[in-house]
Amino acid sequence: MTQTVFEKLLAGWRYLLGRWPVLVHDGLAVPAAWLGAYWFRFNLDQIPDIFFDQAIAMLPIVLVWHLAFFVIFGVHRGAWRFTSTHDLSVILKSVLVGTGVVAATIFFITGLVAVPRSVFPLHGLFLIGLLIGTRIVYRLFRDNQVRRGKGKRVLIVGAGAAGDMLLKDIRRNRELDYDIVGFIDDDPVKKGREIQGVRVLDRCSSIGPLARLLQIQLVLIAIPSASAEQMRSVVESCQKAAVAFRTLPKVQDILDGTARSTDLRSVELDDLLGRDPVALDWSSMAKMIHDSKVLITGGGGSIGSELCRQVARLGPKEIILVEQNEFNLYSIGLEVEEKFPSVCVTKLLGDVCDRAAIRFIFDRHKPEIIFHAAAYKHVPMLQGQIRETVRNNTVGTMIVSEAAIENSARTMVLISTDKAVNPASMMGVSKRLSEMVVQLNNLENRTAFITVRFGNVLGSAGSVVPLFERQIQAGGPVTVTDREMTRYFMTISEACQLILQACVLGSGGEIFVLNMGEPVNIDYLARQMIRFSGKIPEEEIAIEYTGLRAGEKLTEELFHADESLAETAYEKILLAASRSIEADRLRQGLVEIESACSQYDYERVRTIATSLVPESFGSGDER
């Protein structure tokens, strides 16, 4: 115990020694203020000897008390470079208390003989002025040094709170060799104003001319609330001006403490293609999932694994993962077990088309909520794999839904795709049939069957984004189907959160369509990815246009003309009215499809499947 106290005292003493320049300055300010008060009291004239002698005699008392209160209040702890209102209030309190104690002590010793009463308030005022004034002058001097530095010339986009905070943090961080030249902001009211002495120059559309005029080397984007359209506009302006650009870290990373505002990052595709966040009802999702057994098919895939992460946060009783890929199953299982040790994760290698295996899994684990994410998705490849496509996507859905019914599951959610709308491919046909399967089952059973339909997700396995990344890394060419091709995109995490929210909304039979925002031109996407890699499209990385392959469409649709859309309580979730189906014909067709698959009768599989989806056209080559 004694040693601990001694160590603390020693550490405190070492700290004080490290702050000796501040203590010396503040110590010198005390006699200067004390004698200055006398001088001022006698009209800036010579101080009478009797008063001067008394002032000198009392000086040690004044000095000791003030230094003591400087240490007690921590006046020496403030960094002059970043003097703030907090530091000023500490100085004010320390001087007021110290002056009061000094006055009481001197009164007790001298009875104020040869000590004018007016000296004490004058002394306090002078001391406050000296302590605060020197600190403010020093800070202004250092700020001016930084402002006139010869570092990288920088423009900050966004003259709001985030831009103000970024400027402060840059000035505090000596490692950042930045010379902040100005702000730009689209708010006309802010033009011409100054933030910490830095002027708001113009609108964002002026990035190009300003960059050339002011020799800007870097643009920092400080607009956390920027929409994807705003980000695209700023990025394109920077690219045209050939000036580098960075943006603030994600707000959630700053709140989590995993990033600082000065941890500037590259602009990512998510920033350009993402959408404004929407508030979700997490409490209702938690109520649905908490203490429930949740089964996820395709649990190792892009959507399935993210669903697993999202579900684990909501406190399920058990997560049952069914996946064919051994490594993917191992990876997501290990990740969830490490991040959510209290959640029971059951990892099962299995094929959704294996009726015996699926029945065994359902009989043993009795899942209450099923997310059916297992599916083949690669359109051009699946055109030549008709049997496997329909067997996995359609028959697999049929087998899983039958097991859900037999075990009285509460809810089954089918993860569908925009390619199921007016399908031009066998993959699209198979997914439309899957939607019809769950619609049929919902008519006849207590289990609630819900479909959630959406477009592409960024970075999913087999999607265009990782393909372009590989082609760019290889030096090109980047292959684009057509200059006019567009696709809908959203992030995997957002898609999965909306799937969970749709599950809460649904009571059975619904087709929920996720609002994907505006479609993205694939040629634009390819060019932006090339630029992000530091290359110039068509000059350093070639772009080849390959033309539409079998089963591909230039544009995708999220709903059929006969599916009237209605809004829900959530902006990004729409409800599509289900089309009527011929139940008996569909039931018979599904039996025939399963039989044809078992006999490897490709032509029969194709014929039956496309006949059940009359709006489909062309199935391409089959083998």
Q: Is 559 within the bounds of a domain?
A: yes
pLDDT given at position 2: 44
Helix pair angle (396-406, 426-444), 10° resolution: 20
Q: What interhelical angle do 49-73 and 20-41 show, nearest 10?
A: 150
pLDDT, tens digit (0-9, with 9 covering 90-100), for 511-544: 998 887 778 888 988 888 888 777 888 888 899 9
3-state SS track over 249-267 = CCHHHHHHCCCCCCCCECC
Quickly tell me which residue has 């840059």 as its tokens. 170
Residues 137 and 61 in one domain: yes
Cα–Cα distance for residue pair 179/164, rounded to 1 Å: 15
For residues 7 and 133, membership in a common domain is answered with yes
Q: CATH number of the domain at 249, please.
A: 3.40.50.720
DSSP annotation of 474:
T
Is 588 a member of any domain? Answer: yes
Rounded Cα–Cα distance for residues 232 and 122 (Å): 60
Both 488 and 594 in one domain: the answer is yes
Establish if 316 belongs to a structural domain: no
Identify whether 287 is part of a domain.
Answer: no
Name the domain boundary from 98, 128, 144: 144
Residue 310 falls inside a structural domain = no
Last-in-domain residue among 94, 124, 144: 144
Residue 332 falls within a domain, yes or no? no
Same domain, 136 and 190: no
Residue 118 counted as domain residue: yes
The rounded distance, in Å, linking the Cα atoms of 510 and 506 is 6
Domain count across the chain: 3
Question: What pLDDT was estimated at residue 248?
Answer: 78
Rounded alpha-carbon distances, angstroms, from residue 162 to 223, 328, 424: 7, 40, 47
Q: Cα separation of 621 and 549, whole Å?
A: 11
Q: Let me know whether 104 and 158 are in one domain.
A: no
C-alpha Rg value of the chain to the nearest Å: 35
Q: Greatest CA span in the chain, whole angstroms? A: 120
**Strand locations in 368-417 (E):** 369-372, 411-417
Residues 479 and 462 in one domain: yes
Last residue of a domain, one of 231, 252, 267: 267
**What pTM value is reported for the model?**
0.66
Question: Tokens standing for 226?
Answer: 């920027």
Are 159 and 129 within one domain?
no
Distance, CA of 248 to CA of 262 (rounded, Å)? 7
Structure confidence at residue 19 (pLDDT): 58
Say if CB 474 and CB 538 are below 8 A apart: no
b/e 14-43 (16+ beta carbons within 10 angstroms → b): eeeeeeeebbeebeebbbebbbbbbbebee
> For residue 367, is it within any domain?
no
Does one domain contain both 202 and 62? no
The pLDDT score that the predictor gives to residue 622 is 41
Whether 40 and 135 share a structural domain: yes
Do 422 and 473 belong to one domain?
yes
Residue 308: is it exposed, middle or buried by C-beta count within 10 angstroms (0-12/13-18/19+)?
buried
Give Cα 198 distance to the centre of its chain.
29
Range of the domain at 50: 2-144
Please check whether residues 127 and 161 belong to one and the same domain. no
- The verdict on 172 and 86 lying in the same domain is no
For the chain, which residues score pLDDT lower than 70?
1-20, 78-84, 142-150, 174-175, 250-268, 270-279, 459-462, 561, 617-623
3-state SS of 455-470 is CEECCCCCCHHHHHHH
The 10s digit of each residue's pLDDT in 189-202 is: 888 788 887 888 88
